[in-house]
Amino acid sequence: MTSAPERPRVALALVHHPVLRDRAGTVGSTSVTPLNVHDLARAARTYGVWPFYVVTPLASQQALIGRILRHYLEGYGGEANPTRAEALRDVVLAGSINEALDDLCRRAGAYPLAAGTAARDNARSVDYPTFAARASASDRPWILLFGTGWGLAPEAAAQCDVFLPPLRGPGAFNHLPVRSAVAIILDRLFGK
């Protein structure tokens, strides 16, 4: 197994609260999808992004993720699939974005900066090469916030220092699954 760097430089957060639950802009929580946790942990590990925070205040959702993590980190799952266990060891449950920021601050020794993601343009967007250069030169860690549902709620977006530009295909349709968006963005930022 490879080991993670001593201090995180860029972390990832899959935000389930506060997010927009529908196209009408209702703010609330979304359910955790276990497949997202597995796949995003593997993507984050591949690109050296850690920890990977799953942000939900819902006890039932935290219990679900806790069972999955125990299966791979303490149970038979880790024996049967050691690479999955390696990726999942960097998953951290957080009850809020602030809890994730505070945890990353403790790990990195400095309060993190936050980069938001969205499917719409944002006046605070910086392009991918600029962000990658800024993140690698920063003395402070960064956290990439990915909203579930219809995206980050306004109060979550307000915590972001910058935004990454939306991903766009050749047509007008623009509603990628979060697993796809995370993989594409991590590759644009840290791929070789």
- The list of the chain residues with pLDDT below 50 reads 4
What pLDDT is attached to residue 126? 96
**pTM of this prediction?**
0.94
Q: Domain coordinates of the chain in residue numbers? A: 10-190
Q: What are phi and psi of 75, to 5 degrees?
A: -110, -160
What pLDDT is attached to residue 90? 95
What pLDDT is attached to residue 47? 96
Taking the alpha carbons of 185, 43, 46, 124 in that order, is the dihedral positive or negative?
positive
What pLDDT is attached to residue 2? 53
10-190, CATH topology level = Alpha/beta knot (3.40.1280)
What pLDDT is attached to residue 3? 53
Under a CB-based contact definition with an 8 Å cutoff, are residues 13 and 143 in contact? Answer: yes
What lies within 8 Å, CB to CB, of 146 at 6+ separation is 12, 13, 14, 15, 117, 178, 181, 182
What pLDDT is attached to residue 175? 85
Tens of pLDDT, residue by residue over 138-176, are 999 999 999 999 999 999 999 999 999 999 999 988 889
CA–CA distance, 162 with 4 (Å, rounded to integer): 26
What pLDDT is attached to residue 142? 98
What pLDDT is attached to residue 76? 93
